[in-house]
Structure 1
Amino acid sequence: MDKQFHKYLDDVLWWCPFKKLRYLIREYLKKIENIEKENKQIINHLNIITNKIFQENKNIAVIAVDGGFTDQIRTYVVAKSLEKFYNKKILFDISWYETDGMDYDKKYKRYFEFTNIFKDVEFNLANEDEIYLAKQSNHIDFWGDFINERAYKSLEYLNKEKISYLVGIMALTQTFVVREDKFKLEIPNIFKLLNYTDVLRLDKYFIPMLDEKNKEVYNNIINTKNTVACHIRRTDYIKFHYYVELNFDYYKRAFEIIENKINDKIKIFFFSDDLDWVNENIISNIKNIYDYEIVNINSNEKGCFDFYLISKCQYQIASSGNFCKVSYEFNEFYDKILITPENINQYNKK
């Protein structure tokens, strides 16, 4: 507040007949002025600290990582895309695995597995100071922005050369989001995303890690014609607002679509977190019709091996969630097919 402002203030207060009120107004404005000075000092101090911490580059994105193995892969692919197309220097915040680290119904632990598997990839962690300053500088929540139809605004912020803290960047791999009121929102295709296989090659890392049981399933898959990975996720997603309840009819139709498209018999490999439901609702109806194998060798902690085995099948059938959909991105068959609850109606049976 400059001298001119105080002069105007005195002129206005001259008309106030109450001395005590004039005094209170002046004291109140002095406090505001002091707060303004303190805020400027804090901002200047933060700028000094920021310049010391981020000396080399101000175009930095600190990315919050959460979720299971699939989400870690999606986050990394978006991060490398930001690096390539938006010239961002990337740092990662994995503190969620210490502060929360659970699935949606708080039953299963989620582990940060990414660097244990992809040991030689660049994955630089942000320290506490970098995380704090990035949050203060430019905090972007993509899930929140996309659900509230502010996608373009979020990407405008991304283009700014400033230190940013990014939450929910997995939304940038989606074609839609579903709000809690079940309303489906399309996500505009305005973010440049690298191909998954341009960023990571699964064979390089997984083949040396396969134990005997996983190696046996792997060999069965690669030595069998017309393999179909059918992934059925139920447990924690049943309580989630965008979960789609799928019955036998969905899977039956998916099997038929693939057989009709390739005009040949298929072998189905089942992967699920609820095998009792699979046996009762699917196997009992197909055991005399299709050749199949139930893959029941990997615990929650070893789910990444299911992810890899799914990717080696020629065709994929997904349920709710992104586990199978992301695995499909690593499918290298030229005639691959992915069937999901969202796209199954696009297929016309012959």
Structure 2
Amino acid sequence: MAKKEKPAPKPNTALEVLAAMIGSTLVLALTLLVTKTNAPVGVQLAGAAVGAAIPPFVGTVGPRRHLRVAFAGMVAIVAVSATCLTGVIVGKATDSALLPLPPSIPILGRSTTPTTQGKSLLEASPSGLACTQAGCPGKVTIKNSGETSVQLIDIESSAEKTRFKVTGDCANKTLQPAQKCALAVSFTPVSTDTTVTETLVVRTLPSTAEVRIVLIGTVKTPPLDLTVDKAALKCEYSPGQLKVTFRLTPTGASPVTGIGATVVNETTAFSLSRTVNAGPSPQPPTTVTLPVPVGSHPRITISVDPGNAVKEADESNNRLQLTPVIPATTSGVPKTVSCG
């Protein structure tokens, strides 16, 4: 009696093969989409687990499909379980919830009571600083206006080569709710008549809050003004004559050359004219000699740019009056006297 032969396994039809390929491709695309977006971490981990089961599912096409499907399902279950367990272990070690845990099920000793994490919020006062070459006005106060403590870990400017220097007690500081810290800002100008605008960004750890402070640095050249440098003023008397030494000090635009100056003894109406220069660095002083009798009381006036040929911010401070003290007797040796 001939043995009854087992029927040959039914071969996969072209439609089944095509369906398996399309399904695997869609699952792979979905996995890549989920893991490359800003989806929650738990969703990304689940997507990665599904992706781990793709190769076995593709292998279900062929003989003994029931065994292949069972094997693929087992791989999927193991992949999902391993992924979830890894997420729980990492979450326990980092004290963060990578995967949402169901309530009332204790896992690895962690309490599963749902907790509400407060919002993180930073405030800056003022929200911007307008600085000049003279400095920046006051400090910037950073306040934790949120409901949880935050650590300030990143305080940086938006510019690659910043012209502002930030100091203070905020860096790497943990702020409790309503707690404050202060930032001091200084400005280093690089050229005149320029305006620099940067944004100072303060971030927290975790990266849940940030605050931005607008920094504006302006450098303007002050208008020109000429005055007599009183610190360089000197009077020296010898019998019958008075030597007056003076130097100009400009502010603002400089240098300036060829400035007219006159020195007049108002008592005798004797005057001398000179041409002087003024610059950012000290210029050589100018000395004039006036005839002054022994024991007299002269009134000396130094006038800078008397014809107002040089445009200045203040034309009213171009005259300096002196009342030098002349000795009643002299030995003939030059003597330094008070210019008065």
TM over 0.5: no
- Structure possessing the higher relative contact order (Cα contacts under 8 Å, 6 or more residues apart): 1
More strand by share: 2
TM-score, scaled to structure 1: 0.24
Q: Radius of gyration: which is bigger? A: 2
